Structure 1
Amino acid sequence: MSNLRAAVIGVGYLGRFHAQKYAALEGVDLVGVVDVDLARAQEVAQEVGCTAYTDYRPLLDKVDLVSIVVPTQYHYQVARACLEADIHILLEKPVTQTVAEAEDLIRLAAERNRVFQVGHLERFNPAVVALAGVLKNPMFIESHRMAPYKPRGTDVNVVLDLMIHDIDIILTLAKSDLKLVNSVGVPVISDEVDIANARLQFESGCVANVTASRVSVDAMRKVRIFQPDAYITIDYQARKIGIFRKGGEGMPLPMIPNVTLEERRFEQGDSLMDEIKSFVRSIREGLPPVVSGEDGKRALAVALEINAKLAPQGPM
């Protein structure tokens, strides 16, 4: 089977990592990297052994697949051009600026029979993957995603920058239509909201409380899930999950009668490489992507509803 030809459009902080993964991936030839900053494109191209471009259009007839890692405002324009050229796309989150743009890309990908995957990286975290078979009818979900301030990513607010990761995971866990959204946000350093909290109520009765901050001193990425037969904790950074059950087979807890704890820990993985391998596998085997354009659209729609209902408290 011949190698697939790949390119990365946008090789800033995250795009550079995409380029490194393709360059290391068997069965894929990294043809080029694109960035409007010529010096940056040349630097990354030299590092991974391919050609540097400042315009993606000359590459459209030279590649089979691309990662699109440009600022969100350009997602739709670049993704549409690639799909029209019959190129499979891995488009970073948030998928587009509007739901209508996402819907158009979904339609076009289906018409062209192209794989359209969205870069919700947390789906490939081993702690999330390990929840398969454990999750049953969650009734309350609480997530905290805290990060130190970084100037990159501030073209969007914290909901579209960070919280959208947890929105996607929560929608996957809840498996129910959204009924009600309430939210509050505060701009701290940037002109956009830097700290936000949202309460999501689903038709199933499940409630999710979601907090995200990009102006924290310490990083934190944790989720707690309550369901009728268990309480589950996820620590993305520590790569572990804890499952508390009544009368389970785990370690007994002396302080709580008849409740046991099962802990699962995971080795340091490479979620980005897993994401890209999954994208390539979908192309080769004709499989639907793990995170589809529809998934990206659904997460975006909820994020935009949260933004629309933000009750700003004013700068601190």
Structure 2
Amino acid sequence: MSETLRGGVIGAGVFGGHHARKYANLPGVRLSAVLDPHPTRAATLAVPLGGRAFTELDEFLEAVDVVTVASPAQFHAEQALAALKAGKPVYIEKPIAISVADAEAVQAEAARRGLVVACGHQERVLFDAMGLFDIPERPLRLEAVRHGTPSDRSLDVSVVLDLMIHDLDLALALSHAEAVTAEGEGADAGSGSWDIANAEVTFDTGFVAEFSVSRRAEVRSRKMRISYPSGELEIDFLTREFRNTTGYPLNPGFADTPQAQDTLATSVSAFLDAVRGELPRPIVDAGDAARALDLALAVEQGLSG
């Protein structure tokens, strides 16, 4: 593998554009290639950033050292597996796949070949910047609200796999517990899938987490409250209001830290460092992403209309 890694991005949409620009601007990597079934769209993204456009996967894989999969979710596992079989470490936008079997196949292939797989659950960067992962207590309860205004983005999956999966991953990472039950209510507001969902998940430690998500809200809202034995933490991620009664020295200015100001760059940099052997693992690996997917699919099954 060359000293300067050749980065390749599959998918020239919004997320693909974000990833391509990271490869073009981060140290130790350059954007080498963009793959998209629409050649003009691939070239429009790749060429100004110094890369080449491809429409054939095999040719694309020959031109890169590391791959980001930023295509629609239904293609994530198939394209990640192709990259891994070609010997390329992979960064996969969330969700890692749309079935547990496919997620496990990605895990198994990566383990078989000793390759790094990262997944784009970038919210963990914010929690790390706050210091939440350093709290020695396990949470008792979590309440998360994540409402977004209408968008054409990610309508190939439900709002659970689109938005709620971020908070499901955070609940799993904080609690170190296994989900026991998941139930709630959802509504289809026109996409053909769940666009609004409210769910409650109970865990084997007694931890309870409530989630409210929407991609059809009139106004944006993103809040979280976490209860610990020692107190509570309340965060409004939009207004930056921060209330901490736990007694632990959390960082109310987390949003101004360098890593939180560009969570994608932080996440991609950690992936590249793991590929180079400078970190033991990326921020979120394939196992973490598979657990979040498994819980998200359980939530979907527990929803009633």
Q: TM-score range by the shorter chain?
A: over 0.9
For residue 266 of structure 1, what is the aligned residue in structure 2?
A: 255
Which amino acid in structure 1 is aligned with residue 58 of structure 2?
Answer: R
Cα displacement (A) at 1:34: 1.2
Quickly say closer, same or farther: Cα 1:182–1:110, change in 2 above 3 A: same
Quickly say closer, same or farther: Cα 1:36–1:266, change in 2 above 3 A: same
| Structure 1 unaligned blocks of 5 or more | 251-260
Residue 294 (str. 1) matches residue 295 (str. 2): no
For residue 234 of structure 1, what is the aligned residue in structure 2?
A: 235
The correspondence of residues 64-213 of structure 1 with structure 2, limited to 5 A, is 64-125=65-126, 129-134=130-135, 136-213=137-214
Residue 225 (str. 1) matches residue 217 (str. 2): no
RMSD: 1.9
Per-residue Cα deviation, 1:195-234 (whole angstroms, up to 9, x for no partner): 0011000111110001110001211221100011010122
Q: Is the 8 A contact 2:76 2:96 kept in 1?
A: yes
Quickly say closer, same or farther: Cα 1:240–1:133, change in 2 above 3 A: farther
Cα displacement (A) at 1:308: 1.0
- For 2:49 and 2:136, locate their aligned partners in 1 and report how far apart those are by CA, in whole Å: 40
Cα displacement (A) at 1:55: 2.4
Aligned residues: 300
SS in 2 for 1:125: helix
Per-residue Cα deviation, 1:25-80 (whole angstroms, up to 9, x for no partner): 11112111111122211111123121111222202222210110011111111111
SS in 2 for 1:79: helix
| Structure 2 unaligned blocks of 5 or more | none
Which amino acid in structure 1 is aligned with residue 275 of structure 2?
Answer: I
Q: Is the 8 A contact 1:127 1:241 kept in 2?
A: no
Which amino acid in structure 2 is aligned with residue 276 of structure 1?
Answer: V
Runs of 4+ in 1 over 6 A off after TM superposition: none
- Percent identical residues: 35
SS in 2 for 1:184: strand
When the two structures are superposed, what TM-score results if normalisation uses the length of structure 2?
0.93
- For 1:49 and 1:262, locate their aligned partners in 2 and report how far apart those are by CA, in whole Å: 39
- For 1:231 and 1:22, locate their aligned partners in 2 and report how far apart those are by CA, in whole Å: 39
More strand by share: 1
SS in 1 for 2:157: coil
- For 1:302 and 1:83, locate their aligned partners in 2 and report how far apart those are by CA, in whole Å: 25
- For 2:28 and 2:115, locate their aligned partners in 1 and report how far apart those are by CA, in whole Å: 19
Bigger shift: 52-61 or 75-84? 52-61
- For 1:113 and 1:240, locate their aligned partners in 2 and report how far apart those are by CA, in whole Å: 43
- For 2:30 and 2:66, locate their aligned partners in 1 and report how far apart those are by CA, in whole Å: 10
SS in 2 for 1:132: helix
- For 1:311 and 1:128, locate their aligned partners in 2 and report how far apart those are by CA, in whole Å: 36
